[in-house]
Amino acid sequence: SQQGEEDPQALSIQEGENATMNCSYKTSINNLQWYRQNSGRGLVHLILIRSNEREKHSGRLRVTLDTSKKSSSLLITASRAADTASYFCATDAGYGGSQGNLIFGKGTKLSVKP
Amino acid sequence: DSGVTQTPKHLITATGQRVTLRCSPRSGDLSVYWYQQSLDQGLQFLIQYYNGEERAKGNILERFSAQQFPDLHSELNLSSLELGDSALYFCASSARGDGTNEKLFFGSGTQLSVL
């Protein structure tokens, strides 16, 4: 079953604009991760935010986490055509402990037009 | 390049057949994860191995099995294949097998087509 659900399912913007993607999850988590997937390729890790963190930055990426609302957002600033990809949030299965396996949402498909 | 190697990249086979997908993790990583990605189901966790032992099991069918060998490479065996098994199969690896607290490195996947 899906733990995280991304919103929107698809997003189309112009180069230079900001892109915001949201993720909601169902049960308590230890951490939340964001991954990127270029069409048909393997996923690439972007950022990990721990449950006791509220915001984290990495280059043009900003991730927020609101554990009270069970939600996270990924902001890509000054987007580029090369940012065109699908973006996934991933959390642990919520079973407690460290089972080590990540559960992925269905992703947001971002299209950045030049 | 993630350092995770998956072979073959593409596999076309018929219903009822059996195939083996292979994965070599990143150098030094002890844990391997298998995921299945399809348009309708998204990215589904199948199974995880750590240093040769099964650590966690997800939505893996009984027709599917996996193992991790002493050299840490892993194989995913899919048998009695059905049309619905057509999907992209990913292998990922991590250092400590604690995928919720560490990043996973994904291979480029094996595209399986069952005709």
Distance from CA of A33 to the nearest CA of B (A): 8
CA distance B103 to B48: 14
- Tokens 């690439």: give the residue: A44
Distance from CA of A91 to the nearest CA of B (A): 7
CA distance A74 to A71: 10
For residues A79-100, average pLDDT: 78
CB contact under 8 A, A45 and B108: no
Chosen from A43, A46, A51, A95 to mutate, greatest number of chain B CBs within 10 A: A43
Q: Is the pLDDT reported for residue A47 higher than 50?
A: yes
Tell me, what DSSP letter sits at residue A83? G
pLDDT tens figures, A63-84: 999 999 999 999 999 999 999 9
pLDDT tens figures, B30-82: 999 999 999 888 899 999 999 999 998 888 999 999 999 999 999 999 999 99
Mean pLDDT, chain A, integer: 89
In terms of CA atoms, which chain A residue is nearest residue B94? A100
CB contact under 8 A, B98 and A98: yes
CB contact under 8 A, B108 and A48: no
Angle at A8 between CA A93 and CA A92, to 5 degrees: 10
Percent of chain A clearing pLDDT 90 (strictly above): 70
CB contact under 8 A, A98 and B100: yes
CB contact under 8 A, A42 and B4: yes
Q: Rounded to the nearest 5°, which phi and psi values hold at B83? A: -55, -35
Which one of B58, B101, B111 has the shortest CB-CB distance to A98?
A: B101
- Give the Cβ contact number of residue A10 at 10 Å: 10
- Tokens 């940012």: give the residue: A83
Could you tell me if A58 lies within 8 Å of chain B, comparing CB atoms?
no
